[in-house]
A and B are shown apart, each in its own frame.
Chain A
Amino acid sequence: MKDQIRNFIAETTFNDPSIIKDDTLIFDEGIFDSMGLLGLINFLESEFNVVAEDSDLQEENFGSVERIVAFVLRKQAA
C-alpha cells in the first residue's frame, strides 16, 4: 500500500518516487497542491475503498505517505 500511494504521488507530480520518503511533508514541500489532494482522495476511494469525509481532511491524515497509510488502515478497520 505504501508503495502504491508513493507511486501515485510520484506519477501525478512528475517526480521520482525516491524523493518521496515516508515522512516527506508532501504539501509543505510543495509536491502536492489542491489538485493533488483531490486526485489523492479519488485514488484512495478507487484503490482502497476508503471515503474521506470532510472532517478527515486534516494534515494529520494526508500530510505524508506514512500518515496516508495510517489513515487508510484506520478507515478500513473501522
Chain B
Amino acid sequence: MTKKPFSKDILHLENIDEVIDGICEKLREDVYKRFRRYGGVIGISGGIDSSVTLAIATKAFGSDKLLGIMLPETDSSPESEELARELANKFGVKSIVENISGALEGFGCYRRRDEAVASVIPEYNPVTDKMKVVIPEEFVNKNLPPVHYVSVTFKDGTEKKVRLPMKEYLQIVAASNFKQRCRANMLYYHAEALNYAVLGTPNKHEVQQGFFVKYGDGAADVMPIGNLFKTQVYQIARHLGVPEAIINRTPTTDTYSAEQTQEEFFYQMPFDKMDLLWYGWENDYSPEEVAPVMEMTPDEVSKIFKNFARKQKTTDYLRTPPLHDYNIMEGSLV
C-alpha cells in the first residue's frame, strides 16, 4: 500500500462515527464476551482522556452499565472533581467520590516525597510551599535523555529549581506513584464488587512513551483510547459532546502540589506537534518528508525521532506484563 503524503491533517478522522463504532464493538466483545464482566468502572479526573473514555463507554454499554469514580487526594485540584461530576451528569453515569488521601498518608506517600525534596532544597516547607518535578524544555533538542529537576514555589511566590540526583529523583517518583496505585486498588475494588471491568484511560502517547505508572493508571482490563492520538481524542470529545470546560482545560498531571502541565512534566512539546511527529516516526516518514510540513529542519525532526525511539525502548519495562515463560520443566520431564 502506498503511503499518503505527509500532511498536517493526516491524523484527522474523516469517518469518525465508524471509528467510534469500531471501538464500541471491540469494547463489548472484550468486556462482555471475553472477560464476562457486566459493565465498566472508570476513574474520572475531569481530564480529556478519562472523559472521552467515559463518553465512548456510554455509547458501547449504556450509562446504566458504568460507574465513574472520582479519586481526589490532598494535592488534587478541586476543579478536577467539579469537571468530573459535570461529565458524569452530562452522560447520565452514576458517579461516586473516593478520597484516597488517608490511604496515601498511611503509605507515607507525602512524607517520603517531601523528605526527598527537602534533601535537595532544605528550605522547602511542604505545609506552605508547592513542589513539582519538571524537565527543562531545552532537553528536547539536546539528543540526551531528559534529566529531571524539582521546582519549589515558596509561599512568597519565589521559585527555586534544582537538578535531582538519582536517589532523590527515584524516591520522589516512587512515593508519588502511590497515588496512581491507590487509585487502581480502589477501581478494582468497585469493579470486583460489581463484576465490572476496569476501563483504563491512557491514550496512545501515554502507552507508547510510557507516561503511566505500572500497576497504577496502567492497571486496567481494556484501554479503549490506547491507540488514539491526542488530537483524535479531542476530535472525538467534540463529536460526542464532552463538556467544553473539559475540552478547553490544559492537560495537567494533577500529581504534585504545584500546578503542572503534562507538556512541562513529560512531553516537552505541544500535543498537535507531537501527534504528527510521532505518526511520522512510527510510519517511517523520513525527516526530510516531515520537516517542511512541520516548519522544522530535518535535523530537528531527526533529533525528535531519536528521542521517540529512546523513550519507547526505555519504557518497554512498563508495558511488559509479568514474565512467566520460565520453562524450567522443559527437557527434564520424561
* A binding-site residues for B, Cβ under 8 Å: 27-28, 30, 32-39, 41-42, 54, 57-59, 62-63
Contacts and interface: CB of A to CB of B under 8 A. Distances in A.
A33 B310 contact: yes
Interface string B142-175: 1111111000000000000001111001000000
9 contacts: A30-B310, A30-B314, A32-B145, A34-B314, A39-B166, A58-B142, A58-B144, A63-B143, A63-B144
A40 to B, nearest CB: 10
A38 B144 contact: no
Given A33-B310, A33-B314, A27 B166 contact: no
Interface string B50-63: 00000000000000
Contacts of A32: 145
B59 to A, nearest CB: 39
Main secondary structure of the interface of A (DSSP, over half): helix
Given A28-B306, A33-B310, A34-B314, A62 B144 contact: yes
A34 B143 contact: no
Q: Determine the interface band of chain B, counting residues with CB < 8 A from chain A.
A: 10 to 19
Contacts of B145: 27, 32-34, 36-37
Interface in B294-319: 306, 309-310, 313-314
A66 B206 CA distance: 35
B314 A42 contact: no
Nearest to B314: A33
Contact of A28 (B136, B143, B314): B143
A32 B313 CA distance: 11
Nearest to B146: A34
A22 B81 CA distance: 54
Contacts of A34: 145-148, 314
Nearest to B312: A30
Contacts of B146: 34
